[in-house]
Amino acid sequence: MNNLTSSSELSHFPVMLGEVIKICSPRKDGFYIDCTFGGGSYSKELLKFPKTNVVGLDRDKFVISFARDLEKKYPNRFSFYHKRFSEVDNVVKNKTVDGIIFDLGLSSIQLNNLERGFSFKSKKTLDMSMGLSAISAEEVINNYSEQELKSIIKILGEEKDGSRIVKNIIKTRSIKRIVKVSQLVEIIEKSKRKNYSNKINPCTKTFQALRIFVNKEITELIKGIINGTKILKPGGKILIISFHSIEDKVVKFFFNNFSSSRSNPSRYFPENDNTTSLFDKYKNKIFTPSSEEVKKNPPSRSAKLRYAIRNKNKFCYPDELEIKFKKYLDLESIHV
């Protein structure tokens, strides 16, 4: 395996770096959390401001060596934890933070390491783990039932041809175990209906579904943003960059329905007097990459940045968020 072990080997393009830092407005002695450390771009930029303190988290072991280099450079101002961001409140105990950043989805470090099976171009094993995962995509493809695979690909990938793809997966695996990325790519390409106006790679949605499932990404997102909000100080900012519609739906619902601009978190729940709101009035403004950035970093084209500002209310657990997205949480909890 071509392990990434030195910082010189890491290559990552941060999305909307300028916008993120401008929104954060780092202040002297401010405390910030980079929940998806990756190549460390956001952390490094935050540390350029005098006396800022930063904590980095990442579930990916391949970024640890780079994070350790940054710890050596800023021994009293930066610390790194090899953990999922859903555990952020356990990492930062008895402290409140000024800003917390979530850059969701794949990093270029992960995508470009063909050994890990994220890229359609890979000839390697179907893994797709971002780190600290209990299963691999290979295990899912070969061990889960036809109905379970249909649910995963249709719901998490929003793939209209999901039934056709799964039918051919079942047929293929009954003859030979599906181990390589190239095997799955061939199955998908044979299964997809031709759409000459669609510029998206035919494998995109199925790969997205498997990656989300393997890494429990929706569960992690919901837990992460709830626990991150829990440790934000009044006036603290939570910034989230999403890359697909499910992520953005979660973020939009959370910010919109737990903002003080709403008298009721949801029309499906009893009315309240705003004491359960978590954020100041939410402006629902979306930031997207410039055409210049997309040209330099094509994967950034689908990115959406939203942010909210914590109000002074006591933290009240937002059960409605978990209820709203229960079907995703239930699906990601399936195991064989």
Classify residue 274: in a domain, yes or no. yes
List the alpha helices (DSSP H) in the chain. 17-24, 41-47, 64-73, 88-91, 108-112, 137-143, 146-151, 162-173, 181-191, 204-215, 217-230, 245-257, 291-296, 319-324, 326-332
- Residue 288 vs residues 21, 156, 304: alpha-carbon distances, Å: 14, 23, 5
- For residue 142, the enclosing domain spans 134-214
Any domain includes 29: yes
Confidence of residue 6 (pLDDT cuts 50, 70, 90): very low
Domain count, the chain: 2
- Name the pTM for this structure: 0.91
**Distance (Å, rounded) from C-alpha 203 to C-alpha 163?**
14
pLDDT in tens, 267-324: 555 554 556 899 999 988 999 999 999 999 998 999 999 999 999 999 999 999 999 9
Shared domain check, 38 and 166: no
Answer whether residue 330 is part of any domain. no
Last residue of one domain, picked from the residues 183, 214, 245: 214
CATH number at residue 279: 3.40.50.150
The pLDDT value recorded for residue 263 is 47
Give the model's pLDDT for residue 196: 58
**Residue 222 sits in the same domain as residue 313:** yes
Distance CA 164, CA 193 (A): 9
Let me know if residue 97 belongs to a domain. yes
Residues 228 and 282 in one domain: yes
The average confidence (pLDDT) of the chain is 91
Reading the block at residue 175, the tokens are 């003859």
325 in a domain, yes or no?
Answer: no
Q: Please tell me the predicted confidence (pLDDT) of residue 9.
A: 43
Examine the domain organization and report whether 294 and 153 are in the same domain.
no
The CA–CA distances, whole Å, from 17 to 42, 225, 248, 305 equal: 7, 20, 19, 11
Strand partners of residue 34: 56, 101
Quick: pLDDT tens for 21-80.
999 999 999 999 999 999 999 999 999 999 999 999 999 999 999 999 999 999 999 999
Give the rounded percent of residues in the chain with a pLDDT score beyond 70: 91
CATH number, residue 181: 1.10.150.170
Q: Are residues 223 and 103 part of one domain?
A: yes
pLDDT value for 158: 96
| Residue 226 near residue 317 (C-beta atoms within 8 A) | yes
8 burial via Cβ count (<10 Å: 0-12, 13-18, 19+): exposed
Percent of the chain with pLDDT over 90: 80
Q: Does some domain include residue 236?
A: yes
Within this chain, do residues 229 and 314 fall inside the same structural domain, yes or no? Answer: yes
pLDDT at 259: 95
Q: Among residues 187, 214, 241, which one ends one of the domains? A: 214
pLDDT digits (tens, 9 = 90+) for 277-293: 999 999 889 999 999 99
127 within a domain of the structure (yes/no):
no
Domain membership flag for residue 159: yes
Judge whether residue 257 has pLDDT over 80: yes
On whether both 187 and 253 belong to a single domain, the answer is no
